[in-house]
Structure 1
Amino acid sequence: MKRLPELGSDAVVRLSRQGGVAAIQALSRPREIEFAECDEHQRGQICSVLEGCLPLANNATTGRGDQRFYRIELRYRQDEKDDELVIQVPENEAPGDLVRLWDKGEVL
């Protein structure tokens, strides 16, 4: 099973909702969360949400036809180099915590 890399205070999470028949920028509402601006509890909650999304990631079928999906771009530093992980979760399989994180920037 795929695991989330260790994330430090330099990590940045960018969430957006994409796909559908008509790509409307206002509906994607990208949200960026910088771990440097979060306390340890908030970071833990965000990591928990991201861990829960890993088994749902379905890059092969997301975005087909009119299916919307959440795109999670995770930028972090590992072994003294910048790295990135992209997770795409179909909207109909997205956990409620991911939707709240994208919509309001908060978990629970």
Structure 2
Amino acid sequence: MSQPPPLTPVNVVRLQREGGVAHLPGLARPRCIHCARYSEAQRDELWHLLSSAESGAGGEEVPGADRRRFCLSVEDANGNSLWLLTVAEDAMPQELIEWWRRADTSAENGNAP
């Protein structure tokens, strides 16, 4: 697996929660983190969290009907995907889940609100 690219102000990190028995539109809607809104230190923290999520991506998923996963991507200014990763929810760093909870849900197509 490759590491995510360094995060610059032009990047957008897209996080989407998938799976589970019940479909909850509010939780399934892609959430965007517009890197321009964060300091270099915050972008560095986010990069480290994305890198650490990668270690949980290769693991075997626990069987069961109600399992969720996160699809993570880093996009450039044109919306092109530079990096993709799918991680089981159980393997996601808790801090990255917090970023997901606070992320912008109104920018579904990569457009800033």
TM-score computed with the length of structure 2 as normaliser: 0.72
Q: SS of the residue aligned with 1:9? A: coil
Judged with a 3 Å threshold, the aligned counterparts in structure 2 of structure 1 residues 59 and 22 are, in CA distance, closer, same or farther, namely farther
Judged with a 3 Å threshold, the aligned counterparts in structure 2 of structure 1 residues 48 and 20 are, in CA distance, closer, same or farther, namely same
Shift of 1:72: 1.0
Instruction: Give the equivalent residue in structure 2 for 1:55.
Output: 55
**C-alpha distance in structure 2 between counterparts of 1:60 and 1:102, whole Å:** 23
Q: Unmatched 5+ residue regions in structure 1?
A: none
Shift of 1:8: 2.0
Instruction: Give the equivalent residue in structure 2 for 1:14.
Output: 14
* RMSD value, Cα: 2.5
Structure 1 outlier segments of 4+, above 4 Å: 58-62
Instruction: Give the equivalent residue in structure 2 for 1:97.
Output: 95
| Amino acid corresponding to residue 82 of structure 2 in structure 1 | E
Judged with a 3 Å threshold, the aligned counterparts in structure 2 of structure 1 residues 83 and 102 are, in CA distance, closer, same or farther, namely closer
Shift of 1:95: 1.1
| Amino acid corresponding to residue 90 of structure 1 in structure 2 | A
Judged with a 3 Å threshold, the aligned counterparts in structure 2 of structure 1 residues 48 and 65 are, in CA distance, closer, same or farther, namely same
- Kindly indicate whether the alpha-carbon contact (under 8 Å) linking 1:59 and 1:88 is maintained by their aligned counterparts in 2: no
**C-alpha distance in structure 2 between counterparts of 1:23 and 1:93, whole Å:** 21
2:29 paired with 1:46: no
Judged with a 3 Å threshold, the aligned counterparts in structure 2 of structure 1 residues 7 and 87 are, in CA distance, closer, same or farther, namely same
Q: SS of the residue aligned with 1:45? A: helix
Shift of 1:70: 1.3
- Kindly indicate whether the alpha-carbon contact (under 8 Å) linking 1:19 and 1:67 is maintained by their aligned counterparts in 2: yes
Instruction: Give the equivalent residue in structure 2 for 1:30.
Output: 30
- Kindly indicate whether the alpha-carbon contact (under 8 Å) linking 1:17 and 1:28 is maintained by their aligned counterparts in 2: yes
**C-alpha distance in structure 1 between counterparts of 2:73 and 2:59, whole Å:** 13
TM-score computed with the length of structure 1 as normaliser: 0.75
